[in-house]
């Protein structure tokens, strides 16, 4: 069994950049297809596969696989499931009063939050119309995708062991299968069609961890590292703009899809990942920023699950648009709307940090 992997401050900063980008994307209004929108989209569509890569990078291989798999799944899913369930119950009166919810609408959002619109439409069509409460909690799809990808990772890794060629072969097969499923199947709940691709990325992350690739990258002298970062960042943006990369999550809001897109989807994880990693190295030179962002990076799961519900309520209180969900833009886009959305973003991050701090205190007490 591999030894315990210590936390890497630079990686934590990378995770912080990604989660803050996701929160900004969800909560701050901007001009559609404008330069800010293009940049933040390119970052967000890098974030999800890069999170999967890092999950694979810090995977610990063991001859025993079932018990470690269950333990990891519990760690990444149960706290989030409890928080979402509690939010759906506790916030019900608020959404009844502010958004005019009926019991049926609330039940629709509860069911769809966990089953997703695609599956709910198949088995309970009368409960498949989602509302604001669902939109504020819909980011939970990532957690369930991570659960399925983790299960597949442990099963495949059990048979490939730590043999390089087996890991590479399994990864390529999974990515190819994922591309076929993604292109040919209808949208599935929890982004299931993308699970093989994400698992392939996780396997490549595990392979790279054997050779300590991240440690080696962070030891490249800063000047050449920054020059390479500029090149890789430009490549990432060009591929995103001209080849197509919008397949982080395929839902009822479907995107144009084809086989090459999956290939470049994987390639960009590594191209863009290098850029973000080197940028994190630059941030780490400023010690207060390093300390703050590395802490945020250690709490990405909490921030992911909580930021939209907190930001959405802040938007309601300010009587502006409730942003989270598929309706990312408004026209006309006034300065007031932008300012209020930035305030909701700040409130969301502050609130998420507060919940993360409480979570840390609870953990420390229960572990004593």
Q: What percent of the chain has pLDDT over 90?
A: 64
Q: How confident is the model at residue 2 (pLDDT cuts 50, 70, 90)?
A: very low
Instruction: Indicate the DSSP class of residue 32.
Output: T
Q: Are 82 and 204 found together in one domain?
A: yes
Q: Are 178 and 324 found together in one domain?
A: no
Residue 41 lies inside a defined structural domain of this protein? no
Segment 52-64, tens digit of pLDDT: 999 999 998 888 8
pLDDT at 17: 97
Q: Are 280 and 253 found together in one domain?
A: yes
- CA proximity to 312, closest of 299, 304, 303, 322: 322
Q: Are 346 and 219 found together in one domain?
A: no
pLDDT exceeds cutoff 80 at 249: no
pLDDT exceeds cutoff 90 at 183: no
Residue 319 lies inside a defined structural domain of this protein? yes
Selected residue with higher pLDDT from 304 and 259: 304
Q: How confident is the model at residue 245 (pLDDT cuts 50, 70, 90)?
A: low
In contact, 147 and 77? CB cutoff 8 Å: yes
pLDDT at 256: 61
Q: Are 273 and 150 found together in one domain?
A: yes
Count up the domains in the chain and report the number. Answer: 2
- CA proximity to 266, closest of 178, 192, 180: 178
C-alpha pair distances (Å), 33 with each of 17, 38, 292, 320, 364 = 21, 6, 31, 22, 45
Residue 119 lies inside a defined structural domain of this protein? yes
Question: Which range marks the domain in which residue 60 is found?
Answer: 51-287
pLDDT exceeds cutoff 50 at 67: yes
- Mean residue pLDDT of the chain comes to 89
pTM: 0.93
Q: Is the peptide bond before 332 cis (omega within 30 degrees of 0)?
A: yes
Q: Are 154 and 80 found together in one domain?
A: yes
Highest mean pLDDT among 28-42, 51-65, 285-299: 285-299
Q: Are 152 and 256 found together in one domain?
A: yes
Segment 144-155, tens digit of pLDDT: 999 999 999 999
pLDDT exceeds cutoff 70 at 247: no
What average pLDDT does the segment 268-291 reach?
A: 95
Q: Are 228 and 322 found together in one domain?
A: no
Q: Are 202 and 316 found together in one domain?
A: no
């Amino acid at each position: 069994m591999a030894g315990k992997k210590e936390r890497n401050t630079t990686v934590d900063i990378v995770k912080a950049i990604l989660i803050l980008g996701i929160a900004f994307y969800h909560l701050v209004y901007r001009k559609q297809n404008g330069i800010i929108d293009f940049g933040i989209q390119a970052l967000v569509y890098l974030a999800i596969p890069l999170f999967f890569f890092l999950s694979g990078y810090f995977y610990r291989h063991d001859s025993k696989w079932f018990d470690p798999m269950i333990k990891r799944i519990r760690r990444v899913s149960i706290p989030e499931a409890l928080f979402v369930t509690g939010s759906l119950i506790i916030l019900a009166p608020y959404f009844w009063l502010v958004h005019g919810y009926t019991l049926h609408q609330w039940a629709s959002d509860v069911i769809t939050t966990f089953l997703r619109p695609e599956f709910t439409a198949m088995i309970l069509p009368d409960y498949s119309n989602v509302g604001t409460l669902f939109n504020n909690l819909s980011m939970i799809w990532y957690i369930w995708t991570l659960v399925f990808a983790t299960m597949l990772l442990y099963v495949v890794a059990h048979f490939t062991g730590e043999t390089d060629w087996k890991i590479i072969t399994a990864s390529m097969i999974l990515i190819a299968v994922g591309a076929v499923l993604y292109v040919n199947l209808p949208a599935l709940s929890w982004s299931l069609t993308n699970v093989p691709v994400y698992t392939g990325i996780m396997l490549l992350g595990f392979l790279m961890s054997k050779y300590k690739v991240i440690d080696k990258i962070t030891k490249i002298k800063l000047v050449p590292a920054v020059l390479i970062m500029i090149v890789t960042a430009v490549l990432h943006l060009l591929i995103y703009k001209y080849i197509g990369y919008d397949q982080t999550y395929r839902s009822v809001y479907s995107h144009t899809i084809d086989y090459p897109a999956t290939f470049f989807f994987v390639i960009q994880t590594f191209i863009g990942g290098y850029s973000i990693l080197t940028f994190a190295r630059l941030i780490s030179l400023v010690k207060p920023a390093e300390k703050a962002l590395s802490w945020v990076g250690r709490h990405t799961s909490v921030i992911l699950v909580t930021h939209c519900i907190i930001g959405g309520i802040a938007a309601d209180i300010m009587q502006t648009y409730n942003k989270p969900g598929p309706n990312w833009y408004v026209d006309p886009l006034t300065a007031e709307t932008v300012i209020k959305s930035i305030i909701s973003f700040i409130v969301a991050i502050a609130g998420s940090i507060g919940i993360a701090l409480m979570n840390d205190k609870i953990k420390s007490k229960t572990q004593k």
